A and B are shown apart, each in its own frame.
Chain A
Amino acid sequence: MSFTHLHVSTAFSAHYGVSWPDELAQAAAADGATALACTDRDGLYGTVKHLKACMASGLDPVVGVDLAVFDDDGDHRTQLGGRVVVLAHGHNNGAGYRALCRLISDAHARTSGNAGGVVPVAVTRAEIASRSLNPETLEPVLTVLIGPDSDVGRAMGGRRYLRPRTLFKQWLDAMPKETVAAEVVSHLSAPGEPLSTARAVRMLKLAAEHGVPAVLTNAVRYCAEDGAATADVLDSARTLKSLPELTSEPLLQPNGRGWLKTSAQMLELGKEIIQAAGYGAADLGRLLGQTEALADRCRIDPVTDMGWKQPVVPEASVIGIEGDPLVELTQRCEAGISRRFPGISGRPEADMRARLEHELRIIANLGFASYFLTVAEVSRMIIDMGVRAAARGSGASSLVNYLIDISQVNPLQHDLIFERFLSRDRATLPDIDIDVESAERHNVYRRIFDRFGAERVTLMSMQNGYRARGAVRDAGLALGMDDGDIGEIAKQLWRFSARNFREALVEKPELKEFAGRVEQRDFAENQQLDLLVDLTERLDRLPRHISMHPCGVILGDATLLDRTPVQPSGLGLPMSQFDKHDMDPMGMLKLDVLGVRMQSAMAFAVREVVRLHPSKAEVVAAGAHPTGPDGTGPDYIAADGHIDLNAVPLDDEPTYELIRSTHTLGCFQIESPGQRELVGKMAPREFNDLIIDISLFRPGPMKSDMVRPFLEHRHGFAPETYPHPDLKPVLQETHGVTVFHEQILRTFDVMTGCGLAKADEFRRALSNDVLESQVEEFFRREAKAKGYSPDVVDKVWGTLKSFASFGFCKAHGAAFAVPTYQSAWLKAHHPEAFLAGLWEHDPGMYPKRLLVAEARRMGIPILPLDINRSQAEYRVERIASGPEGGKLGIRLSLNGIYGLSGAELKRIVAGQPYDSLADLRARSRLSKPSIKRLAQLGAFDALHRESGGAANRADLVQHLQSLQGRPTKKGAEVIEGQLSLPLGDVELRNLKPELPAPSMVENVRAELDLMAVDVSEHLMSSHRPLLDRLGVTTADKLLGLRNGTEVLVAGVRIATQTPPMRGGRRVVFISIDDGTGCVDSVFFHEAQELAGPLLFGTRLLLIRGNTRRTGPRGISISASMAWDLSRPETLPFPDKQPAAPWEPDLQLRGPLDGISRNLAITGLGS
Chain B
Amino acid sequence: MGMFSEGVDVVCTPAGQPSALTWAGRQYMVCAEPVRWFERRQWWAEETRAPLGTGPGLVDHEIWRVQVRLAGAKEEQQQNEILTLDLTRNIGSGRWRLLRIHDALKPKSA
Residue B49 lies at the interface, judged by CB distance under 8 Å to chain A: yes
Among residues of B, the one whose C-beta sits closest to the C-beta of A255 is: B60
Q: Are B42 and A247 in contact (CB under 8 A)?
A: yes
Q: How far is the CA of A478 from the CA of B43 in the complex (A)?
A: 12
Q: Does B2 contact A (CB under 8 A)?
A: no
Q: Would you list which residues of chain B between 1 and 57 have a CB under 8 Å from chain A?
A: 35-40, 42-45, 47-57
Q: Assess whether A191 is in contact with B38, with CB atoms less than 8 Å apart.
A: no
Known: A191-B110, A229-B58, A232-B59. A535 touches B50 (CB 8 A): yes
User: Which of B44, B52, B58: most chain A CB closer than 10 A?
Assistant: B44
Closest chain-A Cβ to B72's Cβ sits at a distance in Å of: 31
B109 CB-CB contact with A under 8 Å: yes
Q: Which of B61-87 contact A (CB under 8 A)?
A: 63
B interface footprint on A216-232 (CB within 8 Å = 1, 0 otherwise) = 00000000011011001
Chain A residues within an 8 Å CB radius of B58: 226, 228-229, 256
Q: How far is the CA of A226 from the CA of B92 in the complex (A)?
A: 12
Check B44 against A243 for contact (C-beta < 8 Å).
yes
How does the 8 Å CB contact mask read for A152-188 relative to B, with 1 for contact and 0 for none? 0000000000000000000000000000000000011
Q: Indicate if A537 sits at the interface (CB-CB under 8 A).
A: yes
Please give the distance in Å from B89's CB to the nearest CB on chain A.
13
Could you say which of A198, A253, A531, A534 contacts B40, with CB atoms under 8 Å apart?
Answer: A253
Residues of B within 8 A of A196 (CB): 37
Flag if A191 contacts B35 (CB, 8 Å).
Answer: yes
Shortest Cβ gap from B91 to chain A (Å): 8
Alpha-carbon distance between A253 and B54 when the two chains are bound, in angstroms = 18
With the chains together, A197 CA to B38 CA distance in Å? Answer: 11
List chain B residues, Cβ under 8 A from A191: 35, 37, 108-110
Smallest beta-carbon distance A353→chain B, Å: 61
B88 CB to closest chain A CB (Å) equals: 12
The answer to whether A252 touches B35, judged by C-beta atoms less than 8 angstroms apart, is no
- In the complex, residue of chain A having the shortest beta-carbon distance to the beta carbon of B36: A188
Tell me if A190 and B59 are in contact (CB < 8 A). no
Within 8 Å of chain B (Cβ to Cβ): is A479? yes
Smallest CB-CB separation from B91: which chain A residue? A225
A254 within 8 A of B: yes
Give the size of the chain A interface in residues (CB under 8 angstroms).
33
Residues of A within 8 Å of B54, CB to CB, are: 226, 229
Query: When the two chains form their complex, are residues B49 and A534 in contact, meaning their CB atoms are under 8 A apart?
Result: yes
A256 B60 Cβ-Cβ under 8 A:
yes
Distance in Å: Cβ of B39 to nearest Cβ of chain A: 6
Partner of B52, one of A192, A197, A538: A538
Is there contact, CB below 8 Å, between B60 and A257? yes
Is A799's beta carbon under 8 Å from chain B? no
Are A226 and B53 in contact, with the CB atoms below 8 A? yes
Interface: A527 (CB within 8 A) = yes
Contacts of B45 in A (CB 8 A): 244
Least CB distance from B109 to A in Å reads 6
Q: Is the CB of A537 within 8 A of B59?
A: no
What's the nearest-Cβ distance from chain B to residue A233, in Å? 9
The answer to whether B50 touches A527, judged by C-beta atoms less than 8 angstroms apart, is no
What separation, in Å, do the CA atoms of A1078 and B47 have in the docked complex? 57
Contact status A198-B110, CB under 8 Å: yes
Tell me, yes or no, whether A661 is within 8 Å of chain B by CB: no
> Does chain B have a CB within 8 A of A351?
no
Report chain B residues within 8 Å CB of A255.
38-40, 59-60
Contact partner of B49 among A192, A228, A253, A530, CB < 8 A?
A530
Q: List, in ascending order, chain B residues with CB within 8 A of A229's CB.
A: 43, 50, 54, 58-59
A188 partner residues in chain B, CB cutoff 8 A: 36-38
For A226, the chain B residues whose CB sits under 8 A away are 52-56, 58
Please, how many angstroms separate the alpha-carbon atoms of A421 and B56 in the complex? 50
B108 contacts which chain A residues (CB < 8 A)?
A: 190-192
> A189 contacts the other chain (Cβ, under 8 Å)?
yes
Which residues, 257 to 272 on A, are CB-close (under 8 Å) to B?
Answer: 257
* Pairwise interchain contact A189-B56, C-beta atoms closer than 8 A: no
With A228-B59, A228-B60, A255-B60 as contacts: A189 and B48 at CB distance below 8 Å: no
A187 to B49, CA, bound (A): 25
The chain A residue with its CB closest to the CB of B58 is A229
Taking CB atoms, residues of chain A closer than 8 Å to B110 are 191-192, 198, 276
| Residue numbers in A under 8 Å from B109 (CB-CB) | 191-192
Contact residues in A for B56 (Cβ distance below 8 Å): 225-226, 256
Contact among B39, B47, B52, B63 for A531, CB-based, below 8 A: B47
**A523-544 CB contact bits vs B (8 Å, 1 = yes)?**
0000100110011011000000
Contact of A534 among B35, B50, B59 (CB under 8 A): B50
B-side contacts of A247, CB under 8 Å:
40, 42
Flag if A531 contacts B44 (CB, 8 Å): yes
Interface string of A449-470 (1 = CB under 8 A from B): 0000000000000000000000
Are the C-beta atoms of A189 and B39 separated by less than 8 Å? yes
- Complex: A1018 Cα to B35 Cα, angstroms: 83
Within the complex, the shortest CB–CB distance from B58 to chain A, in Å, comes to: 5
Chain A positions 834-889 with a Cβ under 8 Å from a chain B Cβ: none
- Give min CB distance, B82 to chain A, whole Å: 19
Give chain A residues whose Cβ lies under 8 Å from the Cβ of B57: 225
Residue in contact with A189 in the complex, picked from B37, B42, B44, CB distance below 8 Å: B37
Task: Collect the chain A residues with CB atoms within 8 Å of residue B59's CB.
Answer: 225, 228-229, 232, 255-256
Residues of A within 8 A of B49 (CB): 530-531, 534
A252 close to B55 (CB less than 8 A): no
Q: In the complex, A902→B63 CA distance in Å?
A: 64
| Bound: A191/B64 CA distance, A | 11
- Considering the chains assembled together, what is the distance between the CA atoms of A946 and B39 in angstroms? 83
The proximity string for A residues 1014-1048 relative to B, scoring 1 for CB distances below 8 Å and 0 otherwise, is 00000000000000000000000000000000000
Closest to A201 in B: B110
Whether A252 touches B40, Cβ cut-off 8 Å, given contacts A191-B35, A192-B109, A229-B58, is: yes
Chain B residues within an 8 Å CB radius of A192: 108-110
Residue A190 contacts which of B37, B42, B44 (CB distance < 8 angstroms)?
A: B37
Q: What's the least CB distance linking A1038 to chain B, in Å?
A: 55
Fill in one digit per residue for A369-398: 1 if any B CB lies within 8 Å of its CB, else 0. 000000000000000000000000000000
The CB with the most chain A CB atoms within 10 A, among B36, B38, B43, B108, is that of B38
CB distance from A931 to the nearest CB of B (A): 55
A205 to chain B, nearest CB (A): 14
B35: chain A residues within 8 A (beta carbon): 191
For B42, the chain A residues whose CB sits under 8 A away are: 243-244, 247
Cα–Cα, bound, A243→B45 (Å): 10
In the bound complex, how far is the Cα of B78 from the Cα of A51, in angstroms?
Answer: 61
Bound complex: CA A820 to CA B108 (Å): 78
* Contact between B38 and A225, CB atoms less than 8 A apart: no
A17 to chain B: closest CB distance in Å? 16
Alpha-carbon separation in the docked complex, A256 to B40 (Å): 7
- Looking at B37, B51, B53, B110, the one whose CB has the most chain A CB atoms below 10 A away is B37
Cα-based distance from A191 to B108 in the complex (angstroms): 7
Taking the closest CB of chain A, its distance from the CB of B26, in whole angstroms, is: 28
Contact A531 B38 (CB under 8 A): no
- Residue of A whose beta carbon sits closest to that of B44: A243
Q: How far is it, in angstroms, between the C-alpha of A229 and the C-alpha of B50 when the chains are bound? A: 8
Residue of B nearest to A196 (CB): B37
Q: Are B37 and A537 in contact, with the CB atoms below 8 A?
A: no
CB distance from A527 to the nearest CB of B (A): 5
Contacts of B51 in A (CB 8 A): 534, 537
Residues of chain A within 8 A (CB-CB) of B43 are: 229, 232
Q: Roughly how many angstroms separate A198 CA and B53 CA in the complex, as a whole number?
A: 31
Within the complex, the shortest CB–CB distance from A333 to chain B, in Å, comes to 56
Would you give the shortest CB distance from B34 to chain A, in whole angstroms?
12
Which residues of chain B (88-110) have a CB below 8 Å from chain A?
A: 108-110
10 A-B pairs with CB atoms under 8 Å apart are A191-B35, A226-B54, A232-B44, A232-B59, A243-B42, A243-B44, A244-B45, A479-B44, A527-B48, A531-B44
Nearest 4 pairs between A and B by C-beta?
A256-B59, A255-B60, A228-B59, A225-B56
Query: What would 17 more interface pairs be, CB under 8 Å, given A254-B40, A530-B49?
Result: A189-B38, A189-B39, A191-B108, A225-B55, A225-B56, A225-B57, A226-B52, A226-B56, A228-B59, A229-B54, A243-B42, A252-B40, A254-B38, A256-B56, A257-B38, A257-B60, A537-B51
